[in-house]
Amino acid sequence: MDVIDIIIAKRESRELTDRQIDWLIPAYTAGQVAEEQMSALAMAILLNGMNRREVSRWTEAMIGTGIRMDFSGLDRPTTDKHSTGGVGDKITLPLAPLVAACGAAVPQLSGRGLGHTGGTLDKLESIPGWRAQLSEAEMFGVLRETGAVVCAAGDGLAPADRKLYALRDVTGTVESIPLIASSIMSKKIAEGTGALVLDVKVGSGAFMKDLDRARELAETMVSLGTDHGVRTVALLTDMDTPLGLTAGNAIEVRESLEVLAGGGPADVVELTLALAREMLAGAGLDGVDPAEKLANGQAMDVWRRMVRAQGGDPDAALPVAREQQVLTAAASGTLTRLDALQVGVAAWRLGAGRARKEDPVQAGAGVVMHAKPGDAVRAGQPLLTLHTDTPERFEAAQAALEGAWRIEPADPQQPSTARTRSNASLLLDRIA
């Protein structure tokens, strides 16, 4: 095989053969293909795309560079969820124990935040003692004991993806849908779950800003799951406004506990239940009502066992930021806009996120929202509270929030047309 021939083929919009792909991916992972050569190919794929067969074979080759997990020894069906990332997206925290309480096993391999999007592991690590790094044996042990585990992926899972992801990040090829889809699905398929629900975010705070592009990504990932024997469905959900009333780490854990206790913001509850029903249907448990498990406390019971099984103390006080600053409404009226991206960047600048994978995060940092679009507000009323341990960060966070919200005069003759999470569904589309 000659990598130059492969680059030229894709540059000229020709299909790559199975044989070419099967050679290329392990050769690149082993260092036999130079970074500049794979950079050229990634750009050619970004510009000219790949068809379903190529993407499926590419994904299979990436899976083949590592291990495949096998949960067939469990006494319950497995199902998992993946979100493409957003602001205030704490859904995994109530969702995993909820689905486990309904009778499924949830092996949730999660990641850390980067930039304005939060990371599930960062949120959970604000719980004193909780561990993200588990051996395979420990992961299986937690699953058998509690029905759910949320942990970091091991080094043996699709190692080709780690190398290719880092390359895409520095070569302007992150946006390639075939490469995004194969990156996500190679790990999820290698994880070994029987069913998978994809939460593809759309809007200002999401990676995909455009509904048509998000739908294309969702369709590609669903086809990859189907081609590899995983029952897969995708929900396209709104991310123009942050989820819930918090964006951070410990503050999102608190909000998740409200949901598990039968309360919490309406939009977080809505999405948690929608994803739970899809996960249970994929696992063959669609006769179970997840809303009952939230109401009767069984989901909270699983949460407590899950946290304890990973070394955490579910009764310990969560970290609180040392400094707070309140931003108030300049006028009375109806809040008609609260931009997810700007809130996410503010939380990041306050210390809740990181610019590089090795950067630390502050457990207590973030943004608490006191109103959402559609709510009536009064002049002087708190709109946002900024939390950080380092008050010198307030100025940069406030700069990120410049123009992030809009308040329009209330007209008693006209009902408000503002989209609010309490009366408008987050669900934009379903792809199966």
Residue 101 binned pLDDT confidence (cut-offs 50, 70, 90): very high
CA distance 109 to 361: 20
Pair of tokens at residue 361: 């995060």
Q: pLDDT tens across 284-308, in order?
A: 999 999 999 999 999 999 999 999 9
Q: At 375, which CATH number?
A: 3.90.1170.30
Q: What is the pLDDT of residue 155?
A: 83
Residues 312 and 327 in one domain: no
Residues 10 and 104 in one domain: no
Residues 123 and 212 in one domain: yes
Residues 307 and 383 in one domain: no
Final residue before a domain boundary, out of 279, 301, 316:
316
Pair of tokens at residue 373: 């679009």
Average pLDDT over residues 384-396: 98
Residue 416 binned pLDDT confidence (cut-offs 50, 70, 90): low
Q: Is residue 201 part of a domain?
A: yes
Residues 132 and 156 in one domain: yes
What domain range includes position 248?
Answer: 79-316
Residues 165 and 239 in one domain: yes
Average pLDDT over residues 30-45: 97
Final residue before a domain boundary, out of 316, 351, 386:
316
Q: Is residue 223 part of a domain?
A: yes
Q: Under a CB-based contact definition with an 8 Å cutoff, are residues 407 and 335 in contact?
A: yes
Residues 32 and 97 in one domain: no
Q: Under a CB-based contact definition with an 8 Å cutoff, are residues 295 and 261 in contact?
A: no
Residue 169 binned pLDDT confidence (cut-offs 50, 70, 90): confident
Task: Give the total number of structural domains in the chain.
Answer: 3
Q: pLDDT tens across 55-93, in order?
A: 999 999 999 999 999 998 999 999 999 999 999 999 999
Q: Is residue 429 part of a domain?
A: no
CA distance 364 to 249: 6
Q: pLDDT tens across 195-217, in order?
A: 999 999 999 999 999 999 999 99
Residues 237 and 365 in one domain: no
Residues 103 and 178 in one domain: yes
Residues 309 and 376 in one domain: no
Pair of tokens at residue 118: 């939060």
Q: At 33, which CATH number?
A: 1.20.970.10
Residues 275 and 192 in one domain: yes
Active site residues: 82, 161, 168, 183, 187
Pair of tokens at residue 356: 């590089």
Q: Distances from the Cα of 18 to the Cαs of 147, 177, 189, 314, in angstroms? A: 38, 19, 19, 49
